[in-house]
Chains A and B, each alone.
Chain A
Amino acid sequence: MSFYDKLQHLKGLPIADHLASISPSEIETILTKSRIDEHDFLKLLSPAAEAYLEVMAQKAHQLTVQHFGKTMLLFQPLYLSDYCVNICKYCSFSVDNSFPRRRLTMDEVRKEAEIISDRGIQHIILLSGESRNHSSVAYLIESMSILKDYFASISIEIQPMDTLDYQKLVKAGIDGVTVYQEVYDEKVYSEIHTAGPKRDFRYRLQTPERAAAAGMRTVNIGALLGLDEWRKECFITGLHAAYLQQTFPETEVSVSFPRLRPHAGSYKPKVMITDKHLVQAIVAARLFLPRAGITLSTRERATLRNNLIPLGVTKMSAESSTVVGGYSEPDVTQSQFDISDERSVKEVKEHLQQANYSPVMKDWQLI
């Protein structure tokens, strides 16, 4: 049974009504438990739980330190290409946005790698627009022949692929896949993904399953917050992560909570998710998934990121560029979205150390 089947069961449930009916005493009971189930998790995402954020945060902190220590893995994205074949209303790379497209040559890949590596970063994630032609398996394998000399761990966030393709990438040394479902409501999904292979909701939803089955060490998932009601989206993200942990015990599962950021199109978020809501989503996820990684990008501003460090986050990007070739030639082309935290890797490391956290630059290595 795939997570798609589980999602079908959730479809008709009155989640919004249920969330509104949760009482403070129910939250208090949950907070005395040492292990919480999916019903409890949903309740922790309710409006009633907002009054208990501090207690939740304390518990989330305690659990995170216990399982991960006071450590923070730092990584950087490397954008390979901005060619895309989809129309997604919220994304700058959408094929209907007009700007000069670009894909890095192998020399350019090396240049980007040198700059990132010089900053001390050992974990990178390769990103591209979704185009099978431009970010093909062969292109990625060719890039790997260069990148593996510079980095200890390399993962990808590109178009979804079949299991066989993921197996080829694992063999080439790629060890992780990030794929955001964007939105778990199939109807909303279809409204905002108006053209291209990405319209296949089920294929995208099952991508983490194919990646894990192919032997990827890490799988990172998430919903793009702003596309639909956040409490429901975060709940389903948590269930999806729990499903993956259960089904693929060898895979390290992480979740992200990206908020929609300014981009090249005119799409306005359907829902605004406040900082307080983001905190609630993160700490509820930590209480439900004590062993899952939680990833935080530079979409969020520096002050908020600093404050989120002790609440459950285990991986952070730093000094990111969301532009193809953006490390060696800043601002030459279109960024995927705007970043908020513009601090250097060095500055982020310094802050972590001041906060008594140990920045981890290497947590695995290609062997």
Chain B
Amino acid sequence: MTNEDTLIIGGKKLKNRLFLGTGKYGDHRVMEEAIKHAATQVVTVAMRRVNFENEEEDIVRLIPDNIILMPNTSGARTAEEAIRIARLARASGLGNWVKIEVISDQKYLLPDNQETLKATDTLVKEGFVVLPYMSPDLMAGKRMIEAGAEVVMPLGSPIGSNRGLRMKEMIQMMIDELSVPIIVDAGIGKPSEAAEAMEMGADAVLVNTAIATAGDPVQMARAFDLAVKAGRISYLSGFGSTSLKAQASSPLTGFLD
């Protein structure tokens, strides 16, 4: 991996490809430490939890200035709600990056691609850098890009499930076919799964539950950082081909030719 291996989103160059969520931490100080040890450059914050009036609870205050803040529209069940939350975030001074999260199913918390697309369309026109979180679907991804999404963020498995890359085949198609960076968001439960996503060619991963609910979140953040880096190097190195048949490096039957 060279210094030139950067990910560019919204005109910003990123060297670290691990994005972090801020939910589910029992202790904000642990969250701060985890962010530090993950070496992340992008952190997402649920606008519904942002509480500027209460300093003690203000998560935003705990995020270092050199980290890009990506407010998300968690809690939105329609495009309209997501749009209003995004506008509120920008008006509150949280920048113009927004992760669109529209979840109308409260049991499995699966994103609603159709509403997400509507919100993406509107917010791009309003000048936001839009990163839509979505169910992996190639055509829906294409439409998000047509609407102006800077990246697409397919889920690996349902949010908070820690079940890994259950949607692997669908994500691979998106990686292979779509023209914008693919960030695997949700479901990644272990560093090895983050590495796997990166080896598949994902441009970044977003992790929250796996770190926030780990026995030692700080060490887990570090492990994820290393795994994402390893996965990226592995992908860039190019894999040897695979074969069903044995291909010995020094053939034993070559003399028969």
Chain A contacts to B: CB under 8 angstroms:
65-71, 120, 122, 217, 245-246, 249-253, 291, 353, 355-365, 367
Q: Which of B143-174 contact A (CB under 8 A)?
A: 160-162
Chain B contacts to A: CB under 8 angstroms:
23-28, 47-51, 54, 57, 75, 77, 81, 84-85, 88, 104-109, 160-162, 209, 212-213
Inter-chain CA distance A122–B53, complex, in Å, is 10
Contact A361 B25 (CB under 8 A): no
- Supposing A245-B106, A249-B107, A252-B106 touch, asked if A66 and B209 sit within 8 A by C-beta, the answer is yes
- Smallest CB–CB gap between B120 and chain A, Å? 18
Contact B48 A363 (CB under 8 A): yes
- CB neighbours (8 Å) of B88 from chain A are 365, 367
Inter-chain CA distance A362–B209, complex, in Å, is 20
Contact B75 A364 (CB under 8 A): yes
- CB neighbours (8 Å) of A367 from chain B are 81, 84-85, 88
- Smallest CB–CB gap between B1 and chain A, Å? 33
Inter-chain CA distance A362–B47, complex, in Å, is 10
Contact A253 B106 (CB under 8 A): yes
Contact of B27 among A68, A249, A358 (CB under 8 A): A358
Contact B57 A291 (CB under 8 A): no
Contact A69 B48 (CB under 8 A): no
- CB neighbours (8 Å) of B84 from chain A are 367
Contact B24 A69 (CB under 8 A): yes
- Smallest CB–CB gap between B180 and chain A, Å? 28
Contact B107 A245 (CB under 8 A): yes
- Smallest CB–CB gap between B57 and chain A, Å? 6
- Supposing A249-B107, A250-B106 touch, asked if A356 and B48 sit within 8 A by C-beta, the answer is no
Query: What are 26 A-B residue pairs whose CB atoms fall within 8 Å in the complex?
Result: A66-B160, A69-B23, A69-B24, A69-B209, A70-B25, A71-B23, A71-B25, A122-B51, A249-B104, A249-B105, A249-B106, A250-B104, A250-B105, A253-B106, A291-B107, A355-B26, A357-B26, A358-B27, A358-B28, A361-B57, A362-B48, A362-B49, A362-B54, A367-B81, A367-B84, A367-B85
Inter-chain CA distance A356–B24, complex, in Å, is 11
- CB neighbours (8 Å) of A65 from chain B are 24, 213
Which of B49, B54, B77, B212: most chain A Cβ within 10 A?
A: B49
- Smallest CB–CB gap between A88 and chain B, Å? 31
- CB neighbours (8 Å) of B57 from chain A are 120, 359-362
Contact A360 B49 (CB under 8 A): yes
Inter-chain CA distance A71–B22, complex, in Å, is 12
- CB neighbours (8 Å) of A66 from chain B are 160-162, 209, 213
CB contacts between A and B, total, < 8 Å: 80
Contact B106 A358 (CB under 8 A): no
- Smallest CB–CB gap between B26 and chain A, Å? 3
5 smallest CB-CB distances across A and B, nearest first, come from A69-B24, A70-B26, A356-B26, A367-B84, A362-B51
- CB neighbours (8 Å) of B48 from chain A are 362-365
Inter-chain CA distance A303–B82, complex, in Å, is 40
Which of B57, B85, B109, B209: most chain A Cβ within 10 A?
A: B57
- Smallest CB–CB gap between A116 and chain B, Å? 14
- Smallest CB–CB gap between B215 and chain A, Å? 11
- CB neighbours (8 Å) of A363 from chain B are 48-49, 75
In the complex, the chain A residue whose C-beta lies closest to that of B30 is A356
Inter-chain CA distance A142–B23, complex, in Å, is 35
- Smallest CB–CB gap between A359 and chain B, Å? 8
- CB neighbours (8 Å) of A67 from chain B are 160
- Smallest CB–CB gap between A76 and chain B, Å? 15
In the complex, the chain A residue whose C-beta lies closest to that of B83 is A367
Inter-chain CA distance A363–B46, complex, in Å, is 9
- CB neighbours (8 Å) of B104 from chain A are 249-250
- CB neighbours (8 Å) of B24 from chain A are 65, 68-71
Inter-chain CA distance A69–B212, complex, in Å, is 7
- Smallest CB–CB gap between B46 and chain A, Å? 9
In the complex, the chain A residue whose C-beta lies closest to that of B88 is A367
In the complex, the chain A residue whose C-beta lies closest to that of B103 is A250
Inter-chain CA distance A67–B49, complex, in Å, is 16
Contact of B26 among A249, A358, A362 (CB under 8 A): A358
- Smallest CB–CB gap between B139 and chain A, Å? 23
- Smallest CB–CB gap between A366 and chain B, Å? 10
- CB neighbours (8 Å) of B105 from chain A are 249-250
Contact B23 A291 (CB under 8 A): no
- Smallest CB–CB gap between B48 and chain A, Å? 5
- CB neighbours (8 Å) of A353 from chain B are 27
- Smallest CB–CB gap between B166 and chain A, Å? 14
- CB neighbours (8 Å) of A360 from chain B are 49, 57
- CB neighbours (8 Å) of B161 from chain A are 66
Contact B25 A217 (CB under 8 A): no
- CB neighbours (8 Å) of B25 from chain A are 69-71, 358
- Supposing A66-B160, A365-B48 touch, asked if A71 and B106 sit within 8 A by C-beta, the answer is no
Contact A217 B77 (CB under 8 A): yes
Inter-chain CA distance A324–B51, complex, in Å, is 28
Given contacts A120-B54, A367-B85, 15 further A-B contacts (CB under 8 A): A68-B24, A69-B25, A69-B26, A69-B209, A70-B24, A120-B57, A245-B107, A246-B107, A249-B105, A249-B107, A253-B106, A357-B26, A358-B28, A362-B48, A363-B48
- Smallest CB–CB gap between B23 and chain A, Å? 6
